[in-house]
Amino acid sequence: MTELALYEPAICLPKGIKVFVTTRYGGCSQGHWQSFNLAGHVQDDPAAVAQNRVLLRDQLMRATGSASLDLQWLNQVHGTKVHHALAHITEPLPQADALYTTAVNLVCGVLTADCLPVVFCSMDREEIAVAHAGWRGLQKGVLENTLACFKAPAAQIIAWLGPAIGPCHFEVGSEVREAFLAAAVAGTALATEAAFSASAHEGKWFADLYQLARIRLLTAGLIQISGEPACTVCNNTTWYSYRDSPVTGRFATLVVKT
Ligand SMILES: [Zn+2]
């Protein structure tokens, strides 16, 4: 990948819907946060984060051709709450892990460093959403809660999975596997089991977040599911990874209706 601060993943989207993913490149943060950190809660210099957010806004305006864009962020807590964003910015930041809107030119963003970002849009281009799904949020139903906001039927909703820690690196304890198996609805137990492979470390498993998310989305009735096949740990020069380095920045996955 060339060193772009922001790119549009290759997704088949309805006209006017745009998805963007940021990288570590092109910002002004230093050290552990080098360089395009967009999160204010990770001990980075607040002035650098503010500057990076200005840069992001400029790049989004250029990429969308929209003269006025607002960006809505969340206070993410690994929960399952969805914030329904109206046409204006909500401040202080809503405590939630997903954003849903029908508003135009309101960019909805989540920040991650290994957790799975999931973008949604309805094929009639009316509704968009983005969710932050770590294993806890995914297991407790953040994706299902996000889909529940949509008026469009599930078969008319497109989902795209962004860069996240891959099954090559996401080692978890047995409790994570047990939690997913306990929550698996009828007919998905085998697929859920297959999303975990035994690690060489006793009592540990490698979890496939993409697969776990796909199971939930297919169960919810979605048909069009695609994703970024990139692991954030394997690609830690492109994206931030918390597993790789606990003191680090966050990159953004964004969706907007123009
Ligand atoms: Zn990996």
Which residue ranges form the domains of the chain, and what is each CATH number? 12-164+222-257 (3.60.140.10)
| pLDDT attached to residue 1 | 46
| pLDDT of 207 | 98
Q: pLDDT value at position 88?
A: 85
pLDDT at 2: 54
Average pLDDT score over the chain: 96
Query: How many A from CA of 86 to the centre of ligand 1?
Result: 37
* pTM over the 0.95 mark: yes
- 8 alpha carbon – ligand 1 mean position (Å): 22
Cα of 168 vs centre of ligand 1, distance in Å, is 4
Spans of the chain below 50 pLDDT: 1
SS (H, E, C) the chain: CCCCCEECCCCCCCCCEEEEEECCCCCCCCHHHCCCCCCCCCCCCHHHHHHHHHHHHHHHHHHHCCCCCEEECCECCCCCCEEEECCCCCCCCCECCEEEECCCCEEEEEEECCCEEEEEEECCCCCEEEEEECHHHHHHCHHHHHHHCCCCCHHHEEEEECCECCCCCCEEEHHHHHHHHHHCCCCCHHHHHHCEEECCCCCEEEECHHHHHHHHHHHCCCCEEEECCCECCCCCCCCCCCCCCCCCCCEEEEEEEC
